[in-house]
Amino acid sequence: MAEQVQKPIIFSGIQPSGQMHLGVFLGALRNWVRLQETHDCIYCVVDLHAVTVRQDPADFAARCLSFVALYLAAGIDPRTSTIFLQSQVSAHAELAWLLNCHAYMGELSRMTQFKEKTEGKGEKSIGVGIFDYPVLMAADILLYQTNLVPVGADQKQHLELTRDIAVRMNNLYADLFVVPEPYIAPVAARVMSLQEPAKKMSKSDANMNNVIGVLDEPDIIRRKIRKAVMDSTVGITYEPETRPGVANLLTIFGALCDETPQTVAARYENSGNAALKNDLAELVVEKLAPFQTRYHDLMTDRAYLLDVLHQGAEAARQRAVPTLRAAYTRMGFLVP
């Protein structure tokens, strides 16, 4: 009988904060869907991470459920992948505590996301959660003996920290964890803001013209793209350093039709900005339409979404507990 080959394990997550935008969709979610064919995938809605900033309790639960619908609408298949809410598998918070006791203030202080998110704030108003957030992320990943973590470029440093903590603990406690590798797709790993193309498209951006929401109506998408900042150089070329606004639109274009931004640029070489924007807007509208329809259908079936989560949490728990127990045991806890 042929030997069954174990697929490499994938873990990744998205914070259910703000609205999901095209950066998350192209930089992460879409790659997750593709990786399902070749990997054993665990995809989490990381709700514990989301409360590192204040959430309105009245709409938080609804948003978490809607993120599950977004995962499914994008093509994550609950029959082959595990989909669950982080807070429903308590091993995440438990392992995070054990990792906390092996992580250093110095390394967490160096995280650029922490610095960006707390810029200009005094120590008295910076929550411990936002500081500690990469350790919880490390726990998410290490619990499942993950081989590969598909993320956008902004998470690379967190992955490096995860690897450092894993190696540190492996040296102390006899190879507890698989040391994971990041998977950062070559295209759209950093989709930029439409109005300020020097910064990334972000869920927490207060200016909605910077962000294309995956659930935006067609006319809103067209308007936002029409307003996107370009430059006055004649002709279209892909030069991210000197023409970041144009490069960003070419990146989105290329990602949506599986081409490199350079190929798209060559096609529009002699065109004006308006032609590129018009075609891009229609492409975004067309590519998001089936996804949006599936999302709205899924949102009418709350019972189904809850069932997916129930089964996902059950499966995740079964996979997480052995790692957690091994960590407790090897650290010398009295394990029942």
**Which of 32, 268 has the CB closer to ligand TYM?**
32
**Beta carbon of residue 241, minimum distance to ligand TYM (angstroms, whole number):** 18
Which region holds residue 186: left if phi is over 0, alpha if psi is between -120 and 50, else beta?
A: alpha
C-alpha distance across the termini of the chain, in Å: 39
Indicate the burial class of 315 (C-beta count within 10 angstroms; 0-12, 13-18, 19 or more): middle
Which of 9, 14, 298, 316 is the binder for ligand TYM (CB under 6 A)? 14
213 contributes a contact to ligand TYM by CB under 6 A: no
13 contributes a contact to ligand TYM by CB under 6 A: yes
**C-alpha–C-alpha distance, residues 309 and 54, integer Å:** 24
**Which of 24, 89 has the CB closer to ligand TYM?**
24
Closest by CA position to 61, among listed 71, 73, 47, 49: 47
Indicate the burial class of 328 (C-beta count within 10 angstroms; 0-12, 13-18, 19 or more): middle
68 contributes a contact to ligand TYM by CB under 6 A: no
- Count of residues for the chain? 336
Interface segment toward ligand TYM; rule CB under 6 A; list 7-15, 233-241, 252-260, 276-284: 7-15
**C-alpha–C-alpha distance, residues 8 and 23, integer Å:** 26
Closest by CA position to 239, among listed 251, 227, 228: 251
Tell me which residue has its CB nearest to ligand TYM. 27
User: Does residue 199 have an active-site annotation?
Assistant: no
User: Does residue 124 have an active-site annotation?
Assistant: no
72 contributes a contact to ligand TYM by CB under 6 A: no
Interface segment toward ligand TYM; rule CB under 6 A; list 5-13, 277-285, 292-300, 326-334: 5-13
Give residues in contact with ligand TYM (CB under 6 A): 11-15, 23-24, 27-28, 46, 49, 137, 140-141, 149, 151-152, 154-155, 158, 188-191, 200-201
Active centre residues (catalytic): 117, 200, 203
